[in-house]
């Protein structure tokens, strides 16, 4: 955790409500494509699940420590009045509990965004992506997608914005979302 923490960028915080950017999207949907620029635009600390997983894997560890590490880092920043984004799928019951607990403990407003391109776009991406450390091959990536897909049906979340990362106007979508979020969290 300490090694990963050293890599984080902590931007100056504008005067506004404390919040957590909570992305919901399946593997390959484009969460990082959306979350990374939003963090820059909104001055958020971006805690990347993939980057933590990579460090864990490099040390021969499983992924079980991911959520406790992300939670501890998010809470540390929220306690200092610094808004955060967890660049991972926030839909699981365990992640939603962490978000709800942070909302209660720090009065940090959860701001939900949905990254939801068409399924064909995701599957084509997973089948054609040069897989490196996260999945051994396309078959494993697609199996992971299929395993997590049920968590994404019948979502009872009020999203401030839904992205379609298969479209050519992703930068415009990100700008629109940033404007909506800024209005929501303005002091």
Whether 84 maps to a domain, the answer reads yes
pLDDT at residue number 9: 86
pLDDT at residue number 1: 86
- Measured distance between the N- and C-terminal CA atoms of the chain, rounded to whole angstroms: 32
Give the tens place of pLDDT for each residue, 125-168. 999 877 677 788 888 889 989 998 988 988 999 999 999 999 99
Residue 130: which domain range?
Answer: 2-8+18-185
pLDDT at residue number 138: 86
Residue 131: burial class (beta carbons within 10 Å; 0-12, 13-18, 19+): middle
The DSSP code for 105 is H
104 φ, ψ (degrees, to nearest 5) = -70, -50
Residue 127: burial class (beta carbons within 10 Å; 0-12, 13-18, 19+): middle
Whether 173 maps to a domain, the answer reads yes
Burial pattern 3-39, b for ≥16 Cβ within 10 A else e, equals ebeeeeeeeeeeebebbbbbbbbbbbbbbbbbbebbb
Give the tens place of pLDDT for each residue, 29-87. 999 999 999 999 999 999 999 999 889 988 989 888 988 999 999 999 999 999 999 99
Q: In the chain, how many domains are there? A: 1
pTM given for the model: 0.92
Whether 88 maps to a domain, the answer reads yes
Whether 13 maps to a domain, the answer reads no
CATH number for the domain including 146? Answer: 3.40.50.300
CA 19 from centre of chain:
13
* Band of residue 24 on the pLDDT scale cut at 50, 70, 90: very high
């Amino acid at each position: 955790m300490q090694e990963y923490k050293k890599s984080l960028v902590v931007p100056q915080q504008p005067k506004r409500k404390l919040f957590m950017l909570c992305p919901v999207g399946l593997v390959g949907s484009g969460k990082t494509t959306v979350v990374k620029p939003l963090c820059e635009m909104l001055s958020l600390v971006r805690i990347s699940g993939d980057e933590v997983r990579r460090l864990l894997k490099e040390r021969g560890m499983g992924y079980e420590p991911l959520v406790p590490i992300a939670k501890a880092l998010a809470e540390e920043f929220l306690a200092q009045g610094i808004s955060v984004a967890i660049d991972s799928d926030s839909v699981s019951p365990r992640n939603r509990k962490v978000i709800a607990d942070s909302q209660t403990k720090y009065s940090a407003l959860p701001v939900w965004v949905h990254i939801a391109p068409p399924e064909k776009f995701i599957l084509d991406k997973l089948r054609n992506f040069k897989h490196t450390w996260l999945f051994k091959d396309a078959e494993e990536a697609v199996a992971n997608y299929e395993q997590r897909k049920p968590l994404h049906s019948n979502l009872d979340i009020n999203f401030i914005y839904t992205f379609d990362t298969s479209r050519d106007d992703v930068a415009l979508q990100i700008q629109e979302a940033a404007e909506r979020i800024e209005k929501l969290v303005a002091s």
